[in-house]
Each structure stands twice: as C-alpha cells, then as structure tokens.
C-alpha cells in the first residue's frame, strides 16, 4: 500500500520545504557576512566573541538544515520506491 501522502496533497506541510530552503539561504548569508567582516587588530574581546558567534551560529544553521534536507531526500526516496513498487505490482 502506498503512503497516504502520495495519493493526495501534502496538507499543511506544503510550506515546509520553502521554509527550510529559506533558512538554509539565511545561514549562508550569515556565514558570508561573518567571513567578509574584517576586524581590526585592536578589537575588543567582546567584538571578537560576537564575530566568532556570528560565524559559528551561521555554520551550525547551515549544517543542521543540510542534514535535514539530506534526511528528507532519503525519506522521499524511500516513499517513492514504495509507491513505484506498489504501482508495478498493480495495487494502486
């Protein structure tokens, strides 16, 4: 039997992919901003800590969302395999 979501729409999950991709892009922008930010040598420890957190948080967001996208591709592939298998066997 095919997964129920393959028969109809995805309901309120329609916005999930655009939100994830938007956050992924936002994380990339944060990393790019942090990478292009040039700190003078006499920067205070607080500004250095802020710079480090900016780049670290951006990197964390990007890696976390990239893992989420990879997991979604794997689950989507498994659902597609299940759907096609049932389709070939004539159950759908």
Pair of tokens at residue 89: 């066997």
Q: What is the predicted pLDDT for the residue at 85?
A: 84
Asked whether the beta carbons of 58 and 27 are under 8 A apart, the reply is yes
| Bigger pLDDT: 37 vs 10 | 37
Q: What is the predicted pLDDT for the residue at 90?
A: 79
Q: How far apart are CA 56 and CA 35, in angstroms?
A: 11
Where are the chain's structural domains? 20-35+44-92
Question: Is the pTM here over 0.85, yes or no?
Answer: no
- Summarised one tens digit per residue, pLDDT across range 20-79 is 777 777 777 777 776 676 666 666 777 777 777 777 777 787 788 788 888 888 888 888
């Amino acid at each position: 039997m095919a997964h129920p979501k393959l028969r109809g729409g995805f309901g309120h999950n329609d916005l999930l992919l655009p939100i994830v991709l938007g956050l992924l892009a936002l994380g990339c922008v944060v990393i790019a901003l942090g990478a292009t930010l040039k700190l003078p040598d006499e920067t205070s420890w607080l500004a250095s800590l802020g710079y480090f957190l900016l780049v670290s948080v951006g990197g964390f967001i990007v890696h976390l969302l990239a893992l989420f996208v990879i997991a979604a591709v794997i689950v989507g592939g498994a659902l597609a395999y299940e759907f096609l298998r049932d389709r070939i066997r004539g159950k759908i």
